[in-house]
Structure 1
Amino acid sequence: MTPEKPLNAIPPVVIALTLLIVGIEVVLQLANNGFIGGPQGLSWRLNAVNEFGFSTRVFDRVVERANYSFDMLKRFVTYPYVNAQLTQVAFCAALTLALGKFAGEYYGGLKVLVIYVFSSIVGAFVFGLLANGDFPLYGGFTPVYGLIGAYTYALWLQLGQAGQNQLLAFRLIGVLLLIQLIFGVVFGLIAEAPPPPSWIAELSGFFGGLGISVLLAPGGWTTFLDRMRQRS
């Protein structure tokens, strides 16, 4: 009997996304520690944020000034690949692998990429619409929250099929929001300043992933409507 290979269960697109996140951080870490880039390497992360990050200023240029240049539009999907620090990369990579594996098994590998990109765009758009100031948006948590949205919808369907309480599907996002609230309060007390508004993008990414999953799940919109009719 051929032994099973755990990595085979992870869709290639999920592995590619994770390697991209980790690979970029490896380059930035090498530059920050002087192994590549020379003295200029210390500023590579900041330059990457300026080049690929998102902000309300970018949103204003796209929406109000109708600047649809590639430099502006690319930022809606490139900001998740530049992270603030190694710890953030570790969490994003681990969650992308775990949630991507589950989502890939339920939706399919290509649809995981659609969820990832769509939730990134939704998160950036709502962030640009609601956030105050010119705080930059970057880091991979927004599309991770989108994968959590996809996971939540898949679990919601499975609990419904099993005749169990479907509200249990929202436990994960509830716990994460509670942790984020506690972190925001502690950060505000220590820094004596309001926490960064990145939660706007992350929560929007969750609802973006949840919403697009209604269309991407087996049976799509028809199945969703049928279940709603059964409950009414």
Structure 2
Amino acid sequence: MTIAPTEPYKPLPRSLVALVVVIAAIECLLSAADAGLIADPTLRARLLGTGAFWTQLLHGAEPVFAAQPYTMFLSHALLHGGFTHMTMNMVMLLALGRFVSDRYGSGTILPLFLVGAVAGGAAYGLLATGGAPMVGASGADFAFIGVWTVWDLRRHRAARVPTSPVWRRVAVLALLNVVMYWWLGGMLAWQAHLGGFLAGCAFGAALEARASAQALRARAEARRARRGGAE
């Protein structure tokens, strides 16, 4: 019996680990404050006041500090509503971040997270009607889902097989958002999910275009090398 060789284990990219550690550390600190383990039980409320995404700040409300209407587009993705909320988002980020890093390089992790967070905040600011603050990395997570979806569509088309399984997964994801929105009594930032997903699709299309161009150049160089070796 022969055993197929296995690929060597590749550690998680440092940028992904650092991002998850920072977000987890923030939530652990806030959870400790909530539990009375540190001296300031108001810490979560104060951080939400300065770091959450507040749509009112886009419509003339007075910010806590001058740059808050701009920093909230990123800071909201570093805060969460609780340990469970944070854990769910970080598990998704680790899984999808591994895929993105393996295919496109670890240098894409932080830019994609930033694009997803900002796009999620922008969509929330445009579409949300209530005044509740929005926190969580799910908008950024959905940007990673968008990149994965674009790659999967391209993979199906390259193999000349139907793309319907990909579209079914997108439909199921949309349905899950509807169900969760109803189950949570409207406390789901589907707008951020949508914005992050669309931004991720655009980001993924750019990454795939770059990958295709690199593959074309590599094949052209290989052909030139073969011709040169034959002379």
Equivalent position of 1:227 in the other structure: none
Equivalent position of 2:51 in the other structure: 52
Letter in 2 for 1:128: G
Distance 1:156 1:69 in 2: 43
3-state SS, counterpart of residue 53 of structure 2: coil
Tell me by how many angstroms 1:166 deviates.
2.4
Distance change (3 Å), C-alpha of 1:122 and 1:56: same
Distance 2:94 2:181 in 1: 26
Distance 1:84 1:95 in 2: 16
Distance change (3 Å), C-alpha of 1:87 and 1:172: farther
Q: Deviations over 1:51-85 (max 9, x none)?
A: 111121122249xx9xx943321110110111001
Matched, 1:16 2:13: no
Equivalent position of 2:179 in the other structure: 182
- The percent identity for this pair of structures is 23
Tell me by how many angstroms 1:162 deviates.
1.6
3-state SS, counterpart of residue 79 of structure 1: helix
Tell me by how many angstroms 1:100 deviates.
0.3
Equivalent position of 1:109 in the other structure: 106
Equivalent position of 2:191 in the other structure: 200
Letter in 2 for 1:213: G
Letter in 1 for 2:23: I
Unpaired segments ≥5 residues, structure 2: 1-6, 215-231
Distance 1:74 1:160 in 2: 40
Equivalent position of 2:229 in the other structure: none
- Say if 1:156 and 1:167, in contact at 8 Å, map to a contact too: no
Equivalent position of 2:83 in the other structure: 86
Equivalent position of 1:25 in the other structure: 27
3-state SS, counterpart of residue 166 of structure 2: helix
Distance 1:186 1:125 in 2: 24
Correspondence for 2:202 among 200, 211, 214: 211
Tell me by how many angstroms 1:141 deviates.
0.8
Structure (1 or 2) with the larger CA radius of gyration: 2
Distance change (3 Å), C-alpha of 1:199 and 1:167: same
- Say if 1:153 and 1:213, in contact at 8 Å, map to a contact too: yes
Distance 2:103 2:181 in 1: 33
Distance 2:184 2:37 in 1: 33
Q: Deviations over 1:6-32 (max 9, x none)?
A: 5x1x22111111111111111111111
Distance 1:221 1:130 in 2: 35
Tell me by how many angstroms 1:183 deviates.
2.4
Letter in 1 for 2:156: L
Distance 1:173 1:47 in 2: 37
Distance 2:8 2:188 in 1: 44
Letter in 1 for 2:190: W
Letter in 2 for 1:13: S
TM-score by length of 1: 0.80
- Structure 1 runs (4+) deviating above 4 angstroms are 220-223
Distance change (3 Å), C-alpha of 1:33 and 1:95: same
Pairwise CA RMSD of aligned residues? 2.6
Unpaired segments ≥5 residues, structure 1: 189-194, 224-232
Distance change (3 Å), C-alpha of 1:221 and 1:215: farther
Tell me by how many angstroms 1:220 deviates.
6.2
3-state SS, counterpart of residue 217 of structure 1: helix
